[in-house]
């Protein structure tokens, strides 16, 4: 079995990183996105979940109550460590290529992880998957191949106590209308399951719907919300969390898991992005509970923003196996639109979106109102000496296992709260100079587009030359592409529309949301888009000239072998007829009689000339056919490489220098490394979050049979890395004291 897996891995038979710029995949995803967003509006799976979940209110409220480790109900028991703490893991954006997904699954499955100074960290009793559990479209097959298989193989032991699994759906989970997600993760809702859902490796799915509220010992809660394509929280979900909030009160502490980091999205998209997070946070706090941290995936990097005023950590942690995202575009300081409790009756003068959110979730008898305010959140530690008591202080840092694992003390944060580092991110972005070579299918797609443009231009070029009477000679526009486009556009409306369409598309494509001043955005977009357009136009012209050159050589060769003999024969025959005609005329002048009838000779000549013309026309047709074949053969791969070089250079320029298109540029790179997840330790008075990073994932040949790499592990993985995975803490452990929470 292990050998089969290793063989399949080496032969690339196991899932590879998703090639996001494969034109077929782009088209499929585009169609899926439209269909699923329409389906989501007309047939919201969440409403079906609520309708088919026939639990009483009491059952609903206490379903995931793991607060009592000695609970009579075995399904509600959770194992604590020797000091009474409960451990929970959080991972998001996983099922992509096999190697990174398996590497992360094997880390999660291990009994404990050795983190040097910090010591050994015990595995999580609960695993939270934070969204985008499989790529690209999260169908049942993709869940099976890209998520379940690696997790099953990483944790095969059936003699180990089951761990619990909960998942929040991300946009990729929603691409099939949430059907496959519901089938897999919400299987505990099936009557026949008796509350015990599907096993994925050593983890058992426990949730009944695509959202959940887990109660842990020591008044800690984890809420997972389903925001469906960042649209909204459905009524069933609001009712559920409203019911849960009634079980809570002052002294309860909440961690919210949500599919998107609205604090990052809002920077570009506006405050509306905060609506879902605001809604769920108001529900969590309306009876006095405190929110300590908000966790999100979707962006495949690690970043942590914090506000001392709010006492909340906003953590993005989407490195569960999906390709790495850029970090150099992240700002050190952001503004978050956060609801604060106000006196009853005080009106809110904030955005309409916020008012709508509040009205939807607050009831008349709730003794609390909220008002949205702006708070600065920072990815760097605040060195302000006047900061509140709860703030982390900057002191010399001698970390030791004893201190970090011992009694509560604020930690120093010397490392940036971003991973991979901004410098690494910029350097990685330079890899797009080699775009054609790591995204060859994308290059072929561009080559095909180049071919279409070039083919049209070729046809029009002949037409223009014919009308100008300059066929076959140098024409002025050959010195200017723009002049040619001008002339060609007069000849063909289709060509004109194609050129304008390309320009318009590339201008619209420019991601100007990073430009701070809105009035500048259209100008910046037009400038960068036009430069990009001209670069492609130049590339198409260069490739067309190259192909024309090859065709000219080909035509010479072609003429020599196919038309030289018949044309020469005919030319000779015409010359012979002409000679006969002259001889006949001379005979008439000298002797008064023709040697041959001139009319017959004329008829013969007309016939031969006509035959010659036909051959010439045939030759032109052959040339055009040759262009089609040669053009396709040359233009698609060579034009594609040139086009992808232009595109890659565009991404390097815009992403590295201007911080635009970072998602697209990094999607094309398919980087398997810089993975990460969170390990959390919940204790009576504090929560410690350990962000764990893995810089490099072993490649296909970096895995061996377990017997070849030391003693057997309790989780019995099918294959193990040749050398131990080099994990590290991304930053010092984040300690949240209950009193810090806002």
Interacting residue ranges for Fe ion, rule: CB under 5 A = 93, 132
What's the closest the beta carbon of residue 475 comes to Fe ion, in angstroms? 52
Measured from the CB atom, the residue of 132 and 149 that comes closer to Fe ion is 132
What does the DSSP 8-state code read for residue 113? E
**Measured between alpha carbons, how far is 279 from 270 in angstroms, rounded to an integer?**
16
Measured from the CB atom, the residue of 129 and 734 that comes closer to Fe ion is 129
Asked if 720 contacts 713 with a C-beta cutoff of 8 angstroms, the reply is yes
Measured from the CB atom, the residue of 132 and 673 that comes closer to Fe ion is 132
What's the closest the beta carbon of residue 195 comes to Fe ion, in angstroms? 30
The H or E element that residue 167 is part of is strand 163-167
CA angle 288, 293, 298 (to 5 degrees): 130
The H or E element that residue 726 is part of is none
Asked if 69 contacts 80 with a C-beta cutoff of 8 angstroms, the reply is yes
What's the closest the beta carbon of residue 300 comes to Fe ion, in angstroms? 6
What's the closest the beta carbon of residue 663 comes to Fe ion, in angstroms? 10
What does the DSSP 8-state code read for residue 739? G
Max Cα-Cα span within the chain:
135
Measured from the CB atom, the residue of 322 and 404 that comes closer to Fe ion is 322
What's the closest the beta carbon of residue 433 comes to Fe ion, in angstroms? 25
What's the closest the beta carbon of residue 230 comes to Fe ion, in angstroms? 13
**Measured between alpha carbons, how far is 269 from 524 in angstroms, rounded to an integer?**
17
Measured from the CB atom, the residue of 132 and 267 that comes closer to Fe ion is 132
The alpha carbon dihedral of 29, 31, 33, 36 has a sign of negative
Tokens of 401: 């296992």
Asked if 350 contacts 381 with a C-beta cutoff of 8 angstroms, the reply is no
Measured from the CB atom, the residue of 93 and 381 that comes closer to Fe ion is 93
Measured from the CB atom, the residue of 228 and 245 that comes closer to Fe ion is 228
**Measured between alpha carbons, how far is 612 from 574 in angstroms, rounded to an integer?**
10
**Measured between alpha carbons, how far is 580 from 558 in angstroms, rounded to an integer?**
33
What's the closest the beta carbon of residue 121 comes to Fe ion, in angstroms? 25
What's the closest the beta carbon of residue 259 comes to Fe ion, in angstroms? 9
59-98 burial by CB neighbour count: b if 16+ within 10 A, else e? ebbbbbbbbeeeeeeebbebebeeeebbbbbbbbbbbbbb
**Measured between alpha carbons, how far is 188 from 55 in angstroms, rounded to an integer?**
12
**Measured between alpha carbons, how far is 46 from 225 in angstroms, rounded to an integer?**
11
253, burial (CB in 10 Å: exposed 0-12, middle 13-18, buried 19+): buried
Position of minimal CB gap to Fe ion? 132
Measured from the CB atom, the residue of 259 and 507 that comes closer to Fe ion is 259
Measured from the CB atom, the residue of 93 and 358 that comes closer to Fe ion is 93
Tokens of 430: 């330079």
Tokens of 304: 């942590």
What's the closest the beta carbon of residue 181 comes to Fe ion, in angstroms? 14
Tokens of 732: 């010092």
**Measured between alpha carbons, how far is 305 from 282 in angstroms, rounded to an integer?**
20
Measured from the CB atom, the residue of 93 and 731 that comes closer to Fe ion is 93
Measured from the CB atom, the residue of 132 and 461 that comes closer to Fe ion is 132
Angle subtended by helix axes 440-468 and 521-562, to nearest 10: 70
Measured from the CB atom, the residue of 259 and 379 that comes closer to Fe ion is 259
Give phi and psi for 179, each to the nearest 5.
Answer: -60, -55
What's the closest the beta carbon of residue 173 comes to Fe ion, in angstroms? 10
**Measured between alpha carbons, how far is 212 from 394 in angstroms, rounded to an integer?**
37
What's the closest the beta carbon of residue 387 comes to Fe ion, in angstroms? 34
What's the closest the beta carbon of residue 170 comes to Fe ion, in angstroms? 6
């Amino acid at each position: 079995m292990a050998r089969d897996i290793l063989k399949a891995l080496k032969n690339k038979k196991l899932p590879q990183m998703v090639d996001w710029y494969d034109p077929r995949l782009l088209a499929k995803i585009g169609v899926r996105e439209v269909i699923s967003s329409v389906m989501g509006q007309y047939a919201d799976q969440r409403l079906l979940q609520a309708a088919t979940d026939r639990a009483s209110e009491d059952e609903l409220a206490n379903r995931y109550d793991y607060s009592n480790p000695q609970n009579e109900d075995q399904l509600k028991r959770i194992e604590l460590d020797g000091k009474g703490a409960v451990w929970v893991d959080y991972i998001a954006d996983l099922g992509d290529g096999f190697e990174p997904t398996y590497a992360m699954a094997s880390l999660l499955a291990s009994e404990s992880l050795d983190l040097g100074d910090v010591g050994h960290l015990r595995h999580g009793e609960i695993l939270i998957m934070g969204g985008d559990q499989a790529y690209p479209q999260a169908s049942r097959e993709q869940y099976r191949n890209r998520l379940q298989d690696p997790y099953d193989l990483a944790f095969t032991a059936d003699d180990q106590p089951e761990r619990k699994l909960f998942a929040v759906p991300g946009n990729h989970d929603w691409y099939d209308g949430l059907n496959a997600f519901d089938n897999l993760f919400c299987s505990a809702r099936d009557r026949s399951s008796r509350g015990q859902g599907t096993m994925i490796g050593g983890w058992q799915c426990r949730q009944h719907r695509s959202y959940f509220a887990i109660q842990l010992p020591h008044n800690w809660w984890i809420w997972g919300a389903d925001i469906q394509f960042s649209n909204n929280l459905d009524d069933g979900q609001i009712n559920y969390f409203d019911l849960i909030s009634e079980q809570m009160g002052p002294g309860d502490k909440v961690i919210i898991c949500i599919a998107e980091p609205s604090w990052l999205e809002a920077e570009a998209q506006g405050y509306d992005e905060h609506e879902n997070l605001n809604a769920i946070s108001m529900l969590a706090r309306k009876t006095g509970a405190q929110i300590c941290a908000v966790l999100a995936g979707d962006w495949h990097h690690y970043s942590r923003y914090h506000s001392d005023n709010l006492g909340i950590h906003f953590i993005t942690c989407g490195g569960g196996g999906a390709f790495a995202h850029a970090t150099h575009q992240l700002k050190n300081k952001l503004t978050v639109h956060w609801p604060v409790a106000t006196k009853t009756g005080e009106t809110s003068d904030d955005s309409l979106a916020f008012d709508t959110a509040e009205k939807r979730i607050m009831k008349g008898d709730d003794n609390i109102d909220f008002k949205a305010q702006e708070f600065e959140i920072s990815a760097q530690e605040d060195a302000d000496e006047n900061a509140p008591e709860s703030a982390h202080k900057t002191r010399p840092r001698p970390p030791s296992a004893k201190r970090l694992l011992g009694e509560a003390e604020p930690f120093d944060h010397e490392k940036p709260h971003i991973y991979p580092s901004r410098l690494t991110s910029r350097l990685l972005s330079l890899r797009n100079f080699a775009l054609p070579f790591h995204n060859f299918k994308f290059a072929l797609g561009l080559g095909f587009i180049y071919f279409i443009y070039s083919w049209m231009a070729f046809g029009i070029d002949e037409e223009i030359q014919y009308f100008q009477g300059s066929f076959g000679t140098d024409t002025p526009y050959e010195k200017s592409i723009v002049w040619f486009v001008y002339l060609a556009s007069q000849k063909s409306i289709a060509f004109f529309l194609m050129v304008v369409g390309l320009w318009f598309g590339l201008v619209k494509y420019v991601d100007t949301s990073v430009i701070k001043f809105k009035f500048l955005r259209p100008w910046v977009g037009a400038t960068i888009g036009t430069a990009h357009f001209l670069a492609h136009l130049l590339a198409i012209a260069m490739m067309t000239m190259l192909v024309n050159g090859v065709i000219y050589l080909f035509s010479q060769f072609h003429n020599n072998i196919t038309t030289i003999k018949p044309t020469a024969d005919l030319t000779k025959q015409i010359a012979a007829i002409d000679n006969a005609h002259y001889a006949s005329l001379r005979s008439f002048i000298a002797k008064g009689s023709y040697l041959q009838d001139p009319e017959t000779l004329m008829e013969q000549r007309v016939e031969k000339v006509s035959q010659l013309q036909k051959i010439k026309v045939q030759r032109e047709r052959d040339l055009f056919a040759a262009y089609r074949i040669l053009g396709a053969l040359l233009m698609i791969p060579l034009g594609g490489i040139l086009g992808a070089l232009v595109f890659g250079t565009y991404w390097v320029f815009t992403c590295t220098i201007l911080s635009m298109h970072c998602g697209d540029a990094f999607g094309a790179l398919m980087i398997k490394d810089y993975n990460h997840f969170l390990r959390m330790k919940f204790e009576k008075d504090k929560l410690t979050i350990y962000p764990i990073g893995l810089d490099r994932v072993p490649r296909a040949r970096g895995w061996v049979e377990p017997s070849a790499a030391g003693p057997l592990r309790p989780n019995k993985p099918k294959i193990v890395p040749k050398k131990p995975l080099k994990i590290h803490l991304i930053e010092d452990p984040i300690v949240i004291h209950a009193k810090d929470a806002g």
